[in-house]
Amino acid sequence: MLIIPAIDLKDGQCVRLKQGNMENVTVFSENPGTMAKHWLDNGARRLHLVDLNGAFAGKPKNELAIRSIVKAIDNKIPIQLGGGVRDLKTIERYLDNGITYVIIGTAAVKTPKFLRDACCAFPGCIMVGLDAKGGKVATDGWSQVTDYDVIDLAKKLEDYGVEAIIYTDIGRDGMLNGVNIEATVELAEVLTIPVIASGGIASLDDVKALCAVEFEGIIGAITGRAIYEGSLNFKEAQLLADNFDLKM
């Protein structure tokens, strides 16, 4: 299983939010490129980027910071990016500039035709970010909770040809109170495409819990606040994930 460091971008800085609240923000670095290189040097095999301003604005807002990250990584590992992706030109520009996977969130819910077109135009490069609260999908930077059931919607989106689903329990994101294992497994069980877990990872125990259900189709876990504040050692987490089968 991949342990994937998150770099959330707000106003060109590397930050973390609590439960998606743009006013409840902690700045961890003013140099996202340096932060990306730090995780690369510590053994990261993929990075997860979010343009937070873009998620709320509905269009890219941190492209300078994103370019600095791509330059720092220098094609050594894949980068997945979401936040404010609403049209094919934005996807094409990101892919041309070195992003490996583009994550569509709000637009996948509100304009499914756009998602279908994106999967056709850029096969193998499109992921969907499903953010949920109480089993219902949230959109617009988590500011709106819809009536869509996560599992029902995920099964529909799978048919469009997305590469993977990134599932975030927004009630736990940034709170360091554990992963919603049950909901993540419930989603993975009904899909044939991979699921990447996100939200709430706080310790090695959470990594162990996810590794124990990896066989359900959970290929990775995104972690942010825990590795920045030190409750989770990234190197130890990835080493545990790499060797988990040996301990069973």
Distance CA 130, CA 106 (A): 8
Distance CA 118, CA 160 (A): 9
Q: How far is CA 204 from the centre of its chain?
A: 19
Q: Which of 8, 51, 140, 173 is catalytic?
A: 8
Q: Is 147 a catalytic residue?
A: no
Q: Which of 51, 131, 140, 173 is catalytic?
A: 131
Residue type, 141: G
Residue type, 188: A
Phi/psi of residue 185, each to 5°? -65, -45
Q: Is 8 a catalytic residue?
A: yes
Tell me the CA end-to-end span of the chain in Å, nearest whole number. 15
For β-strands 13-18 and 21-29, DSSP reports them as: antiparallel
Active site residues: 8, 131
